[in-house]
Amino acid sequence: MRLFSKPKTAPVPPVIDVPEGFHVPPKTQWGFTPVLQSEITQGGVSGNILTGTALGPHVTLHHDGDGAQFSIQQPDDYGKGLVFEFTDFTSDFFSLAFEIPFEGVKDLGRQDLLRFILHTQASEPFEAYARLNLCYGPNTEQIVRMINIGAGESFAEFDIFYTEYEPKRAASAWIDLIINDPAHKSITLEQAIILRRARASL
């Protein structure tokens, strides 16, 4: 019989990087809030902004028009987020790619849900697409959901259970926010948040 047992170690709390005061859903194991303003100065940018331009360490923009004219500004009230103004935008689509840091990917399994949360304002609310891309080995799995733009807080949720995703071969993951026909739209993206949480048992 052992007289002394090893002391129990306290469980390590999950790393949940979300804004102060944000309500975290139950069973959330990981959270991440991408930085949006780090590459955009207070004066903003405008004109022919190249596809692949970085907005922050984990956020890049994409479009399919060489002459796509639009502007990106910080809010006039020095608030958070970015303002996108699309005038005679010649590209068919505009997208923002939100890279999920590897610490959020390595423990992702088919028992998990990923929730993509946006805080947005728009001149006229509309629907866009949120597309999760999961790379494992040579394969890429994609899940597409609709998400509301301009409705304040909205979210899209991705259920990993119904994919062929193989966690042991995880390589990378990102979420595309895809806006079709963005011409003449004005959009304020205040915040984007990505959460990983356990799904309910079947």
Distance, CA of 144 to CA of 132 (rounded, Å): 6
Q: What is the pLDDT of residue 160?
A: 95
Single pTM value for the model:
0.90
Beta strands 170-180 and 93-99, pairing class: antiparallel
Locate tokens 């990923």: which residue?
114
Q: What percent of the chain has pLDDT over 70?
A: 91
Using the 8-state DSSP alphabet, how is residue 23 labeled?
Answer: P
Which has the higher per-residue pLDDT, 148 or 68? Answer: 148
Q: Which domains does the chain have, with CATH numbers?
A: 28-198 (2.60.120.260)
Closest to 113 measured CA to CA, from 157, 154, 155: 157
Q: What is the pLDDT of residue 13?
A: 67
Distance, CA of 14 to CA of 107 (rounded, Å): 12
pLDDT digits (tens, 9 = 90+) for 143-202: 999 999 998 999 999 999 999 999 999 999 999 999 998 989 999 999 999 999 998 755
CA distances from 191 to 64, 121, 151, 153 (A): 25, 10, 13, 9
Closest to 159 measured CA to CA, from 108, 118, 117, 193: 108
pLDDT digits (tens, 9 = 90+) for 24-63: 999 999 999 999 988 887 788 888 888 999 999 999 999 9
